[in-house]
Each structure stands twice: as C-alpha cells, then as structure tokens.
Amino acid sequence: MNYIVLDLEWNQCPQGKSRENPRIPFEIVEIGAIKLNEKKEEIDTFHELIHPLVYHRMHFRTREVIHLDEKVLARARTFSPVVRDFLAWCGEDAKFVTWGTLDLTELQRNMAYYRIKNPLPMPLFYCDLQKMYSLLYDDGKSRRSLEDAVDEMQIPRTRAFHRAFDDTYYTAEIMRRMDLTEVGRYESMDYYRLPQTKEQEVFRDFGTYLKYVSRVFPDKEAALADRTVSSMRCPKCSLPVFRRVRWFSAGGSIYLALAQCPRHGLIKGKIRLKKAPGGGVFVVKTIKEADEASVEMIKEKKEAVKIRRKERRHRRPSGRSAGDRMEG
C-alpha cells in the first residue's frame, strides 16, 4: 500500500456563478502529488499543470490565490492525458491523503466531465489529514488551514502556499509528524459516487461509532421513511435497543435520536441529510455512546423543537414537516 498525498488547484467561471457550466464548476488546472510508502517515506512525485478547456480566463480569486496565468497554462497538456498518466502513476493499491474534503470529489467530477473511466474504488475511503489533525490536536471538528498547521508544527516555510506541489509537500511533512495510530482509522468517505442500490449501502464500524451511508433517494421524505435509515443498534454489541427519544429534526438537515442498549447504556443517533451530486438526497448516519452532556443536549433540543412547533401551530395550523412524520 502506498499513500498518495494529493492536492489540486482549480479555476472557476471568471464571469461568476450564473455563467458557469454546472457540470464542471471547478476546472482543475494543476495536479500535485507525492507518493509515500507505508513508512511515510517519499518514493515518487507527480506534478503537472493543465491547459483549461472550459474557463479560458482565470477567475480573479484563482489568480490571486494560486498565481497561475493563462499564458503558462496554455503551454500545458489538457486534463484527459494528464489525469490518465496521474491515475496510472497512482497504481492499484493507493490510499489518498488530502488536506480537506474537496479534492477527490472535484477530481472525479472533472473526470466525469471528460468521460474518463473512473478506476477508483467504490466506496472511496481516504485520509482527510485536516480532520485527523483536528482529532489529534483539537476538538475533532474545527479545521485548521494548511498554513496554520505548518506553523503549529514548526515546519520551516521554505516554499509558497496554494500551489499544488508545495501544498502536498507540506501535507506530507505534517503527516510524517503526526502519530496516526489512534486517529488513522477515522477515514473519510468521498461522497461523489454514492450507493445507488440497497446492496451498495455502506456500514462502517470505527470502534467508537458506527457510520452508515445510504443509497440515493429521490427526496427527503423517501429517505426518512426508509427503515434502514431510521434503525438504531448498539455500536458495541449490535443488540436491539429501546427507543428513548425518537428521531426529530434538530434544524437544518440534522436529525437526532436517543436509545438505550440493555447492556451498554444510552446511545445517540445523528442523521445528516445531504444533497447527492447527481440529484436526490442521501443520508449519513452515525451512532455512538451518549454521555450525560449529550443526553441533556438532545433532550433540550427536543424540547426547543416542541416549543417552536407549538408556536408555529398558533400561526399556521397546517404546518407539518418531514420531521414530524419520521418514525423510529
């Protein structure tokens, strides 16, 4: 197994979002990657600029951030040959490492736009080093910029930032200094290609919590009515659990629930409804043990929802949301 530390730079429509091509909102103009062996030693590098075919002029932000101009890119090869070489270079047994969640999605979106066969595994698990950094040194939720992490780790700033190859250099340097024994298992799943059938749905046991990624549903109502989506089981023993607080909408696209395992105590469920890139919605559900604080938090949120709902009923008697209908 090799690690592929990957960073991409992309451009967007210079005339703004209203004029963009929705099939390729971000056009990749640079691929940088470093191949590391299992001991995190560098064994090879890949770096190439890409001649854009969709947005010929740079968006002012792209120009500001990555300092690439049209003249330089005009001499580069186009995306298709570059990405074919890149995928071949990655090899079969590659584990992608990125700083953040965007690169693999945009890589695949660009590949789909140019009708390049996607050889990446499905589901695609990868190492979001930015998340692991947060799990290791922070609260596990906040996200550091690459520059801040470089400073915190006292890595000498010998290169520029925001160029694909320099950013992969820094990402690899950070990775070498991190102890991944504990947090390395918390891999992320890329959501560009999603399960389309029930058989393809993803269940992953991370030890401290369970994660489930559903297939794509036509809409929110269909997703929330699905029994696998609403089911709860104990992350430790898989025993059936008693419902304590049924799924309720906690605002936005978040739903919460509380249940009790006869052996292991209280567990909490969290559902995030997400828009699928190709239309429709999918569900990411996590189930983990609940401590006192999170039990209180869930009960308080539930109360707040009840109160809000009462107020709403006074104003609009017919108001009814999908959250009301959801049964556990």
- Residues at the contact surface with Zn ion, assessed by CB under 5 A: 234, 236-237, 239, 261, 263-264
* Contacting residues for 135 by C-beta, under 8 A, at least 6 apart: 183, 186
In three-state form (DSSP H/G/I as H, E/B as E, the rest C), the secondary structure along 112-178 is HHCCCCCCCCCCCEEEEHHHHHHHHHCCCCCCCCHHHHHHHCCCCCCCCCCCHHHHHHHHHHHHHHC
Which residue number has the CB closest to Zn ion? 234
CA-CA distances (angstroms) from residue 58 to 51, 78, 81, 153, 267? 12, 16, 22, 33, 50
3-state secondary structure 172-214: HHHHHHCCHHHHCCCCEECCCCCCCCHHHCEEEECCCEEEEEC
CB of 236 to Zn ion, least distance (A): 4
- Residue 83 or 232 with smaller CB distance to Zn ion: 232
- Shortest distance, CB of residue 291 to Zn ion, whole angstroms? 15
**Within 10 A of 62 (CB to CB), how many other CB atoms are there?**
22
Of the pair 36, 210, the CB lying nearest Zn ion is at 210
CB of 229 vs Zn ion, minimal distance in Å: 21
**Cβ-contact 168, 107 below 8 angstroms:** no
Peptide bond into 156 cis (omega under 30): no
**Quick one: 189 or 261, whose CB is closer to Zn ion?**
261
Q: Which is nearer to Zn ion, 259 or 261 (CB)?
A: 261
Cβ nearer to Zn ion, comparing 74 with 237: 237
Nearer to Zn ion, 57 or 264 (CB): 264
Q: Most distant CA pair in the chain: distance in Å?
A: 67
Minimum distance from residue 213 beta carbon to Zn ion (Å)? 22
What's the rounded Cα separation, in Å, for the pair 6 and 201? 27
| Pick 234 or 273: Cβ nearer Zn ion | 234
Q: Residue 274: name the closest of 232, 214, 188 by CA.
A: 214
Residue 256: which of 305, 307, 187, 321 has the closest Cα? 305
CB of 238 to Zn ion, least distance (A): 7
Residue 237 C-beta: closest distance to Zn ion, Å:
3
Smallest gap from residue 259 Cβ to Zn ion (A):
10
